[in-house]
Amino acid sequence: MSSSRRYTLSLSCPDRVGIVAAVSGFLASHQGWITEANHHADAQAERFFMRQEILADSLPFGIETLRDKFAPIAAEFQMDWRISDSARKKRVVILVSKQEHCLYDLLARWQADELNIEIPCVISNHETFRGLVEWHG
């Protein structure tokens, strides 16, 4: 599989036995290729958190069908969940004060297409970098 397009499943739910098995088993049953997996439990909050990255082309259907098919598992485990698509750029708002090094870096990487994001605006509590932000469009 050479595609770089990924679906990212992020979820949290009440902690209990079987969550990893249910999610991984669901993906495996549809030939979903997990390229990255992270999970942990917060004992104090009694919540479980998971993030799975799946190779989009490994599944026999698109993201909407994936969401529909995953919904019963999410309901069973009372999950707060979402599935995002790497092909869709994330909209990011940059917040900046008087330290410019991070703003310069982010705008330069965005302009060079190193960041797969949209920046609809930059918000600041100072006018200091207005010219720089406007120059970047």
Residues 33 and 75 both lie in one domain:
yes
> Tens digits of per-residue pLDDT, 117-131?
899 999 988 888 888
pLDDT at 2: 46
Which pLDDT does position 31 carry in this prediction? 97
Check: CB of residue 59 under 8 Å from CB of residue 32. Answer: yes
Residue 53 lies in a domain: yes
Q: Does residue 123 share a domain with residue 63?
A: no
- Within 1-137, residue ranges assigned H as helices are 19-29, 63-76, 101-111, 130-135
Q: Which two tokens stand for residue 73?
A: 């598992």
41 shares its domain with 103: no
Residues of the chain with pLDDT under 70: 1-3
Within a domain: 1: no
By residue range, what is the domain housing residue 30?
6-85
Domain match, 67 and 25 both: yes
76, part of any domain: yes
Provide the pLDDT for residue 3. 57
State pLDDT tens for residues 61-76: 999 999 999 999 999 9
Bridge-based pairing state of the strands 47-55 and 6-14:
antiparallel
**Prediction pTM value:** 0.76
> Does residue 74 sit in the same domain as residue 110?
no
Question: Do 30 and 70 belong together in one domain?
Answer: yes
Residues 12 and 75 in one domain: yes
